[in-house]
Amino acid sequence: MDSILVKGGGALNGQIPIAGAKNACLTLMPATLLSDEPLTLTNAPRLSDIKTMTQLLVSLGAEVTSLQDGKVLAMSTHGDINTRAEYDIVRKMRASNLVLGPLLAREGHAEVSLPGGCAIGARPMDIHTDGLTKMGAEIDLRDGYLHAKADGGKLKGAVIDFPFASVGATENIMMAATLAKGTTVINNAAREPEIVDLATCLRAMGAQIDGDGTSTITIEGVDRLHGATHRVVTDRIELGTYMLAPAMCGGEVELLGGKIDLVGAFCEKLDAAGINVEETDKGLKVARKNGRIRAVDVTTEPFPGFPTDLQAQMMALLCTAEGTSVLEERIFENRFMHAPELVRMGADIDVQGGTATVTGVDKLKGAPVMATDLRASVSLILAGLAAEGETKVARVYHLDRGYEHVVRKLSGVGANIERIAGD
């Protein structure tokens, strides 16, 4: 099993290109199931999760071709469709559940295994299935599979009130509603940039969608969708992650393709902590202001609030801040599993339920640590870059799910980092 070796202590300077968003691309890819015409995605990230989604779509009858070293995905679903999404593929990744809505919309029935993904807490499918049931689907769980069938073979528009702003459920219902008969209204819809990106792509395919980016989305069903070419939005989580590298290590790094409106709440916390973020004609330039990082309190919230996917990385920053920070995790339980690993590096962290209290120390010390999930893995790398000595991060297969060429990107700005092949 591969590991990553980091030797800390040096400032970082230069440019890091930010890839297309993993969470957006994984949502956009199943949209190919909604049309028999080609859908082409540009600015696609080169990640293991993208390969897993490709494998799933191919198993359902789609053709997926990777072009330009993986940055372009040319997809088409013009032949017979297999409506059963098998456990062996779906178990690898939570986003696999996003084929349920498109399959139901196009074929009128589907069998989709319950999904897998990172061990960061329960993320039930109830909100997805409740919404589809309101649209006329009959869904029951048997042998680990969701067996879904649209009444009369076609979904119908409905008013759907989400109990909370679920990103995945918003995406699934949006795609299902594009081909439903009548109008669907999603209340308490998620507002994330990935939702807006999906709506933009679906409109390019001929869908009628209004209100994306707000808490109420309206979709008027159409008879069919056509092909389109769409550029995947910048990955705001990769952006935020690499913004923290110069903040922790010193120096100045420009994040190519970055935009403040993707990470507004995050930038507010960085400013309060003593980190300068400046917009340029190419992206965002980040540097630490004079003096030691200041403690700040962080509460994760749905967009436009502070992203849960940046909580672990922010904790790594605050480990050496002046003062005491309180981080409250409101999105997922079990998302402080990186804290014990940071403590191994000398951090002072007390976790009580969904709250972590971080008292800053003068310096972290390198140590062997183990990644527990995708965002935890990169938080440990960031900590290693700022620590004295050598840090070895094990189980970095999590990292490959969400960060392309992390060693190349960080070494390109001066980091002393290498990947070590496992046995």
Which residues are part of a known binding site for phosphoenolpyruvate? 22-23
CB atoms within 10 A of CB 414: 18
Numbered residues of the known binding site for UDP-N-acetyl-alpha-D-glucosamine: 94, 309, 331
Question: Cα separation of 421 and 269, whole Å?
Answer: 37
Question: Cα separation of 190 and 173, whole Å?
Answer: 11
Closest CA to 60 of 94, 110, 125: 110
Question: Cα separation of 44 and 28, whole Å?
Answer: 10
Partners of 15 in beta bridges: 254
Could you tell me the two tokens for 81?
């469709």
**Catalytic residue selected from 25, 118, 201, 319:** 118
3-class state of residue 109 by DSSP:
strand
Closest CA to 204 of 18, 37, 23: 37
- Any idea of the CA torsion for 125, 128, 133, 139, to the nearest 10 degrees? -40
Could you tell me the two tokens for 97?
């559940």
Q: Which residues of 57-93 are buried (b: 16+ CB within 10 A; e: fewer)?
A: bebbebebeeeeeebbbbbbbeeebebebbbebbbbb
Task: State whether the Cα torsion 31-33-39-42 is positive or negative.
Answer: positive
Q: Please indicate whether residue 118 is annotated as part of the active site.
A: yes
Numbered residues of the known binding site: 22-23, 94, 309, 331
* DSSP structure class, residue 398: G
Question: Cα separation of 372 and 52, whole Å?
Answer: 20
Pairing mode of beta strands 109-113, 145-150: antiparallel
> Are the beta carbons of 34 and 177 closer than 8 angstroms?
no
CB atoms within 10 A of CB 357: 14
Among all residues, which ones are annotated catalytic? 118
